[in-house]
Structure 1
Amino acid sequence: MKHTPQAQAMRSALTLLAFAVVATAVLGTTWALTADQIAANEAAARAALLSQALPPGSFDNDLVADARPLPARDAAMLGRDTARVYPARLAGRLSGRVFEAAAPNGYGGRIELLVGVDAAGAVTGVRVVSHKETPGLGDYIDSAKSAWSAQFAGVADAPGMAWAVKKDGGRFDAPAGATISARAVAAAVGRVARYAREHPHLANP
């Protein structure tokens, strides 16, 4: 090919095309690898949070892998459009469950929760997944900030039981001046406990 301006332009165009093809391939591969790593990291973080809602040594299965979706109607009972239940098993027997739930009426808005319940229906742990409560005031609901949510452990639902703070006639403590957050979480945990009591065999193998 002669070194005419047209030929030079053609060579430049082909070179740029080759670089573009290689760059696209590299970016595509990098994205795929990164996406897989992100998914793996998210699953690991989810598993760690789920395990905190259950007693240590109470399960030996993969909670994330064994998750089951709840019917939309049931998810709505727990304050969500969609929700999953994570069955906990020990030696093949159901030892507990963790439910996704939400309190729509926190002081700062929606509060996303994970609530663990044992095979007998007692709450084993409550973990806040996300919230917008006021730092230093309403964020005590997060177990990373305080032990407030520990008071739900061991409590099971019973017909007519009020899942409410003491100020509203219930049994749960709430810091003075920040009862809205506590009220929302207590009600949400109660909905999970009641649902678990009414569906004792859900997620049973």
Structure 2
Amino acid sequence: MKKATGFKKYEDQKIKKLSKQLKNNENNVEIVQALKAYQNKKNIGEIIQVIDHDGFGGDIELIVGINQQKEITGVEILSIDETVGLGMNAKNKEFRDQYKGKKVERFEVVKTGKQSDEEIDSLSGATITSKAMTGGINGALEFYDLLKGR
């Protein structure tokens, strides 16, 4: 959230309680931290730190920005250990930007070319990594809904 001028951390107890309510946790997702993002004291969205435990090389840790309209404002990778030249391409801006600016309930990985905002083009030779990244982002979207009482 580049426009944010301040942040306020959600209490760990609230994060743990809401994390237990995640329904679509098919990819073994863990919510680590969540922050409210502010611009001049106005809440403009949430920053959610998530770990997907099902990457090809292990855990993939992400930060996902989501604005008040439930639009992805950005995805940053904090930690990843995937195959060089394949899964590590998830770090490329072109792959991460597939999520940015999208307002969806959940994403789905496809291998045949995306046809809608909900679809994400899989990295060539790295479907497991693509699914883990998408699973983490889907977990952040669902957690966002829980934070907002939806």
TM over 0.5: yes
1:83 partner SS: strand
Root mean square deviation, CA, Å: 2.4
Corresponding residue number in structure 2 for 1:74: 18
Tell me, yes or no, if the aligned pair for 2:34 and 2:49 is still in contact at 8 Å.
yes
Q: Which has the higher contact order (CA 8 A, sep 6+)?
A: 2
How many residues are paired up?
138
1:96 aligns with 2:45: yes
| Aligned 1:16-31 pairs, distance under 5 A | none
CA drift of 1:195 comes to: 2.2
Q: CA 1:157/1:194 → structure 2, altered by over 3 Å: closer, same or farther?
A: farther
Equivalent in 58, 61, 69 of residue 112 of structure 1: 61
Corresponding residue number in structure 1 for 2:89: 140
Distance 1:73 1:183 in 2: 25
Tell me, yes or no, if the aligned pair for 2:4 and 2:38 is still in contact at 8 Å.
yes
TM-score (normalizing by structure 2): 0.80
Tell me, yes or no, if the aligned pair for 2:90 and 2:129 is still in contact at 8 Å.
yes
Tell me, yes or no, if the aligned pair for 2:48 and 2:64 is still in contact at 8 Å.
yes
Give the gaps of 5 or more residues in structure 1: 1-53
Tell me, yes or no, if the aligned pair for 1:121 and 1:200 is still in contact at 8 Å.
no
1:98 partner SS: strand
Higher helix share: 1
Structure 1 runs of 4+ off > 4 angstroms? none
Distance 2:39 2:149 in 1: 16
Equivalent in 114, 120, 124 of residue 172 of structure 1: 120
Superposed CA deviations along residues 28-84 of structure 1, whole A, max 9, x for unmatched, are xxxxxxxxxxxxxxxxxxxxxxxxxx2x3x2111x3xx222343233354722x622
Q: For residue 142 of structure 2, what is the amino acid of its counterpart?
A: R
Equivalent in 137, 148, 156 of residue 103 of structure 2: 156
CA drift of 1:149 comes to: 0.6
Tell me, yes or no, if the aligned pair for 2:32 and 2:51 is still in contact at 8 Å.
no
Give the gaps of 5 or more residues in structure 2: none
2:18 partner SS: helix
Tell me, yes or no, if the aligned pair for 1:122 and 1:193 is still in contact at 8 Å.
no
CA drift of 1:175 comes to: 2.2
CA drift of 1:103 comes to: 1.0
CA drift of 1:157 comes to: 3.0
Distance 2:93 2:48 in 1: 22
Corresponding residue number in structure 2 for 1:50: none
CA drift of 1:137 comes to: 1.2
Superposed CA deviations along residues 144-166 of structure 1, whole A, max 9, x for unmatched, are x44211110122233xx4x2211
Q: Computing the radius of gyration over CA atoms, which structure comes out larger, 1 or 2?
A: 1
Corresponding residue number in structure 2 for 1:194: 142
